[in-house]
Amino acid sequence: MDITSSFTTLLVEDSMSLGALYTEYLRADGARVTHVNHGEDALNELKQWQPDLLVLDIQLPDMSGMDILAAVQKDYPDITVIMITAHGTIDIAVDAMRSGAFDFLVKPFDAKRLSITVRNALKQRQLVNLVAKYESSLPKPRFMGFVGESLAMQTIYKTIDCVANSKASAFIVGESGTGKEVCANAIHHAGNRCDGPFVALNCASIPKDLIESEIFGHTKGAFTGAVANRDGAATRAHNGTLFLDEICEMDLELQSKLLRFIQTGVFQRVGATKEEKVDVRFVSATNRIPWDEVKAGRFREDLFYRLHVIPIELPPLRVRGKDILLLASSLLKEYNKEEGKKFKGFSSDAKRCLTNYAWPGNVRQLQNVIRQVVVLNEGDLVELDMLPLQLTTAEISQPKIESDAKNKPTHSQPAADNNLNEIAESSSFISNIEPTTAYSSKPQHSADSVTATTSNDEIEPLWLTEKRTIESAIARCDGNVPKAAALLDISASTIYRKRQTWEELENSLAPS
């Protein structure tokens, strides 16, 4: 394809004769040319349309071409700029190159010189577009606060991109710790409401009696303690986004008021007689299965249909494959900086352990684990024994979880309890997980291991299992009880108390 077959050019040249001449030259090369004489006219044209090429004289009657170049670099960085300069202003032209111009031409120049420069500029432009196209086809490792390049997350990024500019309500579902608020934030900031407010409200954390006032605000004297008028989340979110987290925890009575607000944008403050109207985009989230909540009569069906316009299902960490290590590395870097540590990465054993763990608490749990490792240890590499026992023992006792969607507890799967977290930890979930060859063939000789295949006579009292786990942790920490306690996520005094209890139990069991 001829790269100069069709391209648009805005020519800014104050001389009528040179403008006409350069227009002829450019048209001969296939350009559709618009010629203006003044800088102000050029800026007005750029507000209306953006050419492929801007051919810009440095010395203009009303402003410097450098000012226009700066504006173009700021507002329209995709435009390729060729500067035109007279013999005396070459220094400025060099500055222009430093400021982002592609090339400059010194007057007088002929058609051939202009043609070569234009062709080079178009070639470079074509290459830049090609690279951008290629880059956009690659998985994005980061997106609006998310870290992850798995297919599951790429789908989420695309969905966020698509829905960001819409006013349609989005409903985010996912287990705790999967990033529902990050997702809501991303929808807000990727869209045309990004300059407006983002107001988040956790429906589960606000007492039932106060939530109406939190959403709609109240007037002075509306209830005991309402000493002044107060704006609610609805008012504060005007022209922005209102994020209702844990929406399924909302009281049924309030659900009907919320429904009216969503339908009309109109609401009444608690204690007020006057109605208010706002322009708000709704994003809701829950870690429950919303349709099950509707079926159980805990969530209004009409409200469900109002909010559940664009469902976004965040994948649990265990199905995100290599994202686990990507996230772990990103968190390690972040916490290194905060804690003044120098970890450069993870040992292969630690990587394997992190990858194989089920992460019932998802990204939030991973954050805690990496923070714990960074705070409690020193070194270049995060080793397996620096990871909490919770992870390392699970690695031995639990089969590896397949990182594909078929094990994902989807909303269509039947579940006794509709809390996604509990599904993840329930036996029905574990039974879905097939042991890998690597783990099923591993001899389970470790003293710490808690096997799932013991016969009845091998079952021992729980305190003995607990004792072995704790003593093993202390041994692995070279007798350092506080460190072992931290890794076990309990207090050191708990260990001392338990030791006391074990001694008493052993004494009572000992033959007299």
Partner 1 sequence: MIDEAVLNELTSMLGEEATQRMLLVYTTEVQERLKVLAQISQAIKADEAIDFAEVEIQAHTLKSSSASFGAIEFSAQAEILEHAAKAHDAAKVTQQLVTLSELGVETLRFYAERLAP
Which residues of the chain form contacts with partner 1 (CB under 8 A)? Answer: 14-18, 20-21, 24-25, 28, 59, 61, 86-88, 107-112
Task: Round to whole Å and give the CA distance between 114 and 110.
Answer: 6
Query: Residue 28 or residue 375: which is nearer to partner 1 going by CB?
Result: 28
Q: Who contacts 456 (Cβ-Cβ below 8 Å, separation ≥6)?
A: none
Which residues, listed in sequence order, are joined to residue 286 by a DSSP beta bridge?
173
Q: How far is the CB of 87 from partner 1 (least distance, A)?
A: 8
Give the residue among 236, 135, 144 at the shortest CA–CA distance from 190: 144
Cα torsion through 51, 52, 57, 63, rounded to 10: 40
Q: C-alpha dihedral over 249, 253, 255, 260, to 10 degrees?
A: -170
Please, are residues 54 and 9 in contact by the beta-carbon 8 Å criterion? yes
Nearer to partner 1, 58 or 250 (CB): 58
Q: Which is nearer to partner 1, 65 or 316 (CB)?
A: 65
- The smaller minimum CB distance to partner 1, of residues 23 and 365, is found at 23
DSSP code of residue 196: S
Distance of closest approach, residue 40 Cβ to partner 1, in angstroms: 15
Q: How far apart are CA 291 and CA 307, in angstroms?
A: 12
Which is closer to partner 1, CB of 61 or CB of 461? 61
User: At a CB cut-off of 8 Å and minimum separation 6, what does 360 contact?
Assistant: 175, 421, 424, 425
Nearer to partner 1, 59 or 480 (CB): 59
283 and 243 Cβ atoms separated by less than 8 Å: yes
Of 114 and 331, which has the nearer Cβ to partner 1?
A: 114
Q: Which is nearer to partner 1, 115 or 166 (CB)?
A: 115
Q: What angle do CA 461, 465, 468 make, to 5 degrees?
A: 135
* Smallest distance, partner 1 to C-beta of residue 89, A: 9
Q: Over the Cα atoms of the chain, what is R_g? A: 32
Would you give the DSSP letter of residue 511?
-
Cβ proximity to partner 1: between 16 and 168 the closer is 16
CB of 72: closest distance to partner 1 in angstroms? 22
Q: Report which of 58, 52, 16 is spatially closest to residue 35, judged by C-alpha positions.
A: 16
What does the alpha-carbon distance between residue 350 and residue 12 come to, in Å, rounded to a whole number?
Answer: 61
Q: What is the bridge-based pairing of β-strands 142-143 and 146-147?
A: antiparallel
CB 60 → partner 1: shortest distance, Å?
Answer: 9
Please give the angle made by the CA atoms of 443, 430 and 359, to the nearest 5 degrees. Answer: 90
Contact 177, 365 (CB under 8 A): yes
**In the complex, minimum distance from the CB of residue 56 to partner 1, in angstroms, rounded to a whole number:** 14
Tokens standing for residue 123: 């070639």
Which token pair is 283?
A: 């994003």
CB of 17 to partner 1, least distance (A): 4
Min separation Cβ 7 and partner 1, Å: 19
- CA 241, CA 167: separation in Å to the nearest integer? 9
Q: Between 67 and 78, name the residue whose CB sits nearer to partner 1.
A: 67
CB of 110 to partner 1, least distance (A): 6
- Report the nearest approach of partner 1 to the CB of residue 101 (Å): 18
Closest CB to partner 1 among 59 and 202? Answer: 59
Nearer to partner 1, 19 or 315 (CB): 19
Smallest gap from Cβ 93 to partner 1, in A, equals 13
Question: Would you say 271 and 226 are in contact if contact means Cβ atoms under 8 Å apart?
Answer: yes
Q: Is 261 exposed, middle or buried (0-12, 13-18, 19+ CB in 10 A)?
A: buried
Cα torsion 339, 345, 349, 354 to 10°: value is: 70
In degrees and rounded to multiples of 5, residue 275 shows phi and psi of -95, 150
Nearest Cα neighbor of 269 from 298, 234, 304 is 234
Q: How far is the CB of 43 from partner 1 (least distance, A)?
A: 19
